[in-house]
Amino acid sequence: MSRSVALVVADRLNKYIDLPPRPKFKVNDVLQRGNVFSFVRSKSTFFAFPDEISSLKNRFINVTSTGFMIIYETNQKGIVVDLRRALNVFCEADRFVKKSKKINYLRCHVKIRLPRGNIHLFLRDENVHKWTCAIMRASARPGKLVSPVPSIPLETMETHLETAIEEEEEEEEISTACESCAEPVTVIEVPNSSVRSLRLKLEKELVLMPKEQFFAEVYHPPTNEIVLEPTSEQEKKEEEAEVEREKNWWMRSLRC
């Protein structure tokens, strides 16, 4: 027994509609079907309200070859999503290994980003390849049809060329007549300034200082002060104590 039902594509991912009850009925022309660990995040209509997130559980999902995903929330209710409206499809896969308990399996998180929410699927092992291929194939949009270029008859093309050549010749005659009647144009030539001419100009504008003044500004003469180290043991100890005290104070300030 077959049954045809017209289903409404969900605009919001938290509004469930009546679906053909399962397991009595099943969807034909599917790429993949089965129970998948999943949850749905529906965006709120107002930005101040939080998003609605469904529970994480096993849901029966169908992916059709026409680009639709039918998600059963219960055996009679669910939502229909058009995967061709998906903005992005993200897949993150890795291998979970735990040698102590001999656990080794491939896991994958698929996120389908839609205009009004997201659908998250969690797959394992051989289901990763099956579901990812089905989702990517269903979400692929058909390419745009390119209309063929209309062919122009040869006679029409020759007439177009003749008229174009005649118009160009008329424009040339008009332009030469206008040029003969026009007044002579005054042309002002601007000399090109090179790097050498700019350098010579800057050198002329600079005020050169005498050599003695230049060295006096750059090099300072040494002072006549002579620093002598303490000769007595008492002065050396006092100086070392002062240096050690300053060092300890500096290290404490760095720690702070």
Tell me what pLDDT residue 118 has.
Answer: 92
Verdict on whether the full-model pTM lies above 0.75: no
Tens digit of each residue's pLDDT (9 = 90 or more) over 59-99: 999 999 888 999 999 998 999 999 999 999 999 988 888 88
Q: Tell me phi and psi for residue 241, to 5 degrees.
A: -65, -40
Higher-pLDDT residue of 28 and 95 is 95
Domains of the chain: residue spans and CATH: 17-139 (2.30.29.30)
Residue 29 has pLDDT above 70, yes or no: yes
Could you write out the three-class secondary structure of the chain?
A: CCCCCCCCCCCCCCCCEECCCCCCCCCCCEEEEEEEEEEEEECCCCCCCCCEECCCEEEEEEEECCCEEEEECCCCEEEEEEHHHCCEEEEEEEEEEEHHHCEEEEEEEEEEEECCEEEEEEEECHHHHHHHHHHHHHHCCCCCCCCCCCCCCHHHHHHHHHHHHHHHHHHHHHHHHHHHHCCCCCCCCCCCCCHHHHHHHHHHHCCCCCHHHHHHHHCCCCCCCCCCCCCCHHHHHHHHHHHHHHHHHHHHHHHC
Six-digit token pair at 127? 């289901």
Residues 6+ apart with CB under 8 A from 134: 31, 32, 63
pLDDT-derived band of residue 177, with 50, 70 and 90 as boundaries? very low
Task: Read off the pLDDT band of 8 (50, 70, 90).
Answer: confident
What pLDDT, on the 0 to 100 scale, is given for residue 35? 93
Q: Which residue has the higher pLDDT, 200 or 78?
A: 78
Segment among 124-128, 131-135, 242-246 with least mean pLDDT: 242-246
- Top mean pLDDT of 21-30, 79-88, 153-162, 197-206 is at 79-88
What's residue 36's pLDDT?
A: 93
- Given this model, what pLDDT does residue 207 score? 59
